Amino acid sequence: MADQFDLVVLGSGPGGYVAAIRASQLGMKTAIVERENLGGICLNWGCIPTKALLRASEINHLLHSLDAYGFAADNVRFDFAKVIKRSRAVASQLSGGVKFLMKKNKITVYDGDGKLTGPGKLSVAKDGKPVAELAAKHIILATGARARVIPGIEPDGEYIWTYREALVPAALPKKLIVIGSGAIGSEFASFYLNMGAEVTLIEVMDRILPVEDEEVSAFVHKAFTKQGMKVMTGAKVQGVRREGGGVTAIVEAEGKVQEIKADRLISAVGIVGNVENIGLEGTKVKVDRTHVVIDEFCRTGEPGVYAIGDLTGPPWLAHKASHEAVICVEAIAGLHPHPLEVMNIPGCTYCRPQVASVGLTEAAAKAKGHEVRVGRFPFIGNGKAIALGEPEGFTKTVFDAKTGELLGAHMVGPEVTELIQGYGIARTLETTELDLMHAVFPHPTVSETMHESVLDAYGRVIHI
């Protein structure tokens, strides 16, 4: 006989476990099915361990820049194995935290692969052996995504890596190629560069970080180059050879073909949804380019089946998955939540320098027919940034010239990933330029660049 629940969640990433907790809070008898580690890719192989690594690389950079602050140290070195070990320990700690939250919220956890077997039914198996049969009126699919594989550049786990292998290398490669300059590619390129590797970043588009504002992309490109990274844009990798204990990438750029040799290569060219082997065959769930199609309340075409997070459409961000989880569960519970406004979701890239944005880029705003007012403020004009020794970067704001609506905000520089939420809140509250002008920003803080950028859009900038 099947175990009975009000809601079953398949996958325990930042979408799945949040959905389970919110459902429990609303009085639903809830189960979650996870085949690997609680917390999913984000906590175990993505967001969290990469930030632990990036923190280590920031410290390494700082230790080699001590003279600028009046300090000196001899024989500065690091133990790369310990750097990796700390990253794994951080991931393990947070995964354990999710396990505690499941117990605290009385959520039943099943260890295994889940698969839809009929209306309101889901089976669980581990290593091919049956674990349980579950029944629930509502089933949320939160199976996430995995790295996209390009023919001819198939990861082998040794010389050609995905994010997984890049997180747990046996040693620091002397030379590294990174294909793809989105958030994942740029973060790994930045980490390995700041740990001492010689890095080549290859992007097929005409600029790196292509979803960001063009000025931000150009700034990061220049910063990466200044740091010693080789950046290639408008470049296509035709193939990769494994030879001599390393790899050789055949790259076409500017009409010429060249070979680039390295010890290792990271492929970071996007993701595909985990839609296989979860029982979608024979259902009314629609899949578009490996991602499940949903409505504004995360409902699929199959009654009683929902989908959230990276399994669905972009943006593929952990915080988007968590917010979708709450919307989905509250809609199931009849609470009438507001649909997710995608343009109010901040995006963050934790390379050096950090990048953060929300809303429309300047080009996108103009393409939508907006007459815009644009403000900019460089960090070199900010006292706190100068005191930190990190005066490179800027804040940019884009407003509708007629209504004063904040259409978008774009930041590059120290800790901007911690600041962008201010603009996210402003957009959610439908704040205008006057509200932002009248807000009092504390001094001295890097957040003052946010205020000055707004002032600059209206000809009232003070400190530049």
Where in the sequence numbering do the catalytic residues fall? 443
Of the candidates 359, 21, 53, the residue with the CA atom closest to the CA atom of residue 187: 53
**H or E element at residue 34:** strand 30-34
- Number of Cβ within a 10 Å radius of residue 286: 13
Alpha carbons 389 and 413: distance in angstroms, whole number: 11
Radius of gyration of the chain (CA): 23
Alpha carbons 417 and 47: distance in angstroms, whole number: 13
Q: Are strands 30-34 and 108-111 parallel, antiparallel or unpaired?
A: parallel
Cα angle at 333 between 330 and 336, to 5 degrees? 55
Alpha carbons 158 and 178: distance in angstroms, whole number: 15
Of the candidates 398, 409, 395, 430, the residue with the CA atom closest to the CA atom of residue 357: 409
| Alpha carbon distance, N-terminus to C-terminus of the chain | 72
Of the candidates 121, 186, 142, the residue with the CA atom closest to the CA atom of residue 349: 186
| 146 burial type by CB count under 10 A (0-12 exposed, 13-18 middle, 19+ buried) | middle
Alpha carbons 342 and 346: distance in angstroms, whole number: 9
Helices assigned H by DSSP within 253-293: none
| 131 burial type by CB count under 10 A (0-12 exposed, 13-18 middle, 19+ buried) | middle
What CA–CA distances, in Å, run from 451 to 252, 293, 383, 445?
44, 39, 14, 11
Phi, psi values for residue 213, rounded to 5°: -60, 145
Phi, psi values for residue 301, rounded to 5°: -75, -10
